[in-house]
Structure 1
Amino acid sequence: MTTRRQFVGMTLAGGALALLPAGLQQASAQGAPIGSIQIVFARKVTDAWGEHVRLVGAELQRTLVDILGPAFRPGAGNRLVVSVNSLWLASYAGGGGSRMANGGGSNDYLESLVTLYDRSGRELDNWPIMSTESAGGAGAWYLPDVDQRRLKALARNNAWWIKRYVAG
């Protein structure tokens, strides 16, 4: 037997779901799984980062394939395009705390726009994503591969945010 309280709760929940923007729906709800993933970089990012964009692109691609699971079926379904528009590593990567004495931050950033297209190329939805990682989170600043580890951490962070929006 449904009580009045349960009925009101179900009505409110249903009404709230109806008010959600279409952009918050899962990609699988768009009618097809993700069949391809494309990573593209803005010219300013490739000019500034050179060969490092390959590292970021490969890590982003690899992480997305791993975490999308059954929502990713190569060759079938929708196309996911990740446009990396900004990539920034803080010059300060040591110590604790989030702010330096001069007021600057010690966070790294990767900004992307993720767009989902159907098979015919029609845009279904897009999501701007700003990923932030602590510059000191990749380990000791004095190790020779610290920048590569920081870039990979940003790519993985961005991939997890993409999954949240695209595949729920």
Structure 2
Amino acid sequence: MPTRRHLVLAAAAFLLAGCQTTPPLGSATAIGIIRVDVSRLVELGVGPRAETVRTRLEQELARGFADRRQAGGATLTVAVRGLTMPTYVGGDIDDGATSDYLESLVTVTGRKGEVLATYPVLSMNGAGDSGFWFSPDIDERRVERVIVNHAAWIRKLVLG
């Protein structure tokens, strides 16, 4: 008789099997251009925060790939697909419902435009990890934290 855990694991395996990803390109990969597209966030009505995500994610990726930057290298394009920041008013339970998420599709293309790799990326941070919910700048800190985490995951996926 299947338990709830078996059903959850089977569903996760089914979802992961449908992801078309490539293995890491490796540390020898040179990155020439970094682009972040937030047009989907604009469509979703995220407002000025979309530009913040674009600017800060580009900066974090430039910092994260600084040792791999080279003119004429591959182009790293990040199409941001979603930003989720639920209302958070404190508490100790984090069941995912009070987590911040940033979702994107990362594509690495070669000099001739050929796709070298694609990586769907979904990063998560607990909403309470950025400080007290009543702090005046809490939303900005939450966005910053999820961007830094997302950039780190992108580097890990691309370079291994």
Say whether the fold is shared (TM-score over 0.5). Answer: yes
Q: Percent identity?
A: 34
Corresponding residue of 2:115: 123
C-alpha deviation, 1:57, in angstroms: 1.4
Moved over 4 A (4+): none
Give yes or no for contact 2:21–2:120 (8 Å, CA) kept in 1.
no
Map of 1:61 onto structure 2 = 58
Task: Note closer, same or farther for the CA distance 1:27–1:38 as it changes in structure 2 (3 Å cut).
Answer: farther
2:89 equivalent to 1:97: no
Runs of 5+ in structure 1 lacking a partner?
1-20
1:164 maps onto 2:160 in alignment = no
Gaps of 5+ in 2: 1-19
| 1:146-167 deviation digits (Å, cap 9, x = unpaired) | 1111111111111011000112
Q: Report the TM-score when normalising by structure 1.
A: 0.76
The answer to whether the 8 A contact 1:109-1:131 is kept is yes
Deviations 1:7-56 (A, max 9, x none): xxxxxxxxxxxxxx982132555xx510010000243x114211111111
Name the amino acid aligned to 2:126: S
Distance between the aligned counterparts of 1:42 and 1:148, measured in 2?
Answer: 20
Q: Distance in 1 between matches of 2:39 and 2:120?
A: 14
2:21 and 2:118 map into 1 onto residues whose CA distance is 10
- The code of the aligned residue for 1:60 comes to L
Deviation string 1:82-128 (CA, Å, 9 cap, x unpaired) is 000011101124121214xxxx7110111100000001111111000
Aligned residues: 140
RMSD: 2.0
The equivalent position to 2:47 in structure 1, one of 47, 50, 64, is 50
Query: How far off its partner does 1:76 sit?
Result: 2.2
- For residues 1-168 of structure 1, the aligned pairs below 5 Å read 23-29=22-28, 32-43=29-40, 45-47=41-43, 48-73=45-70, 75-99=71-95, 105-168=97-160
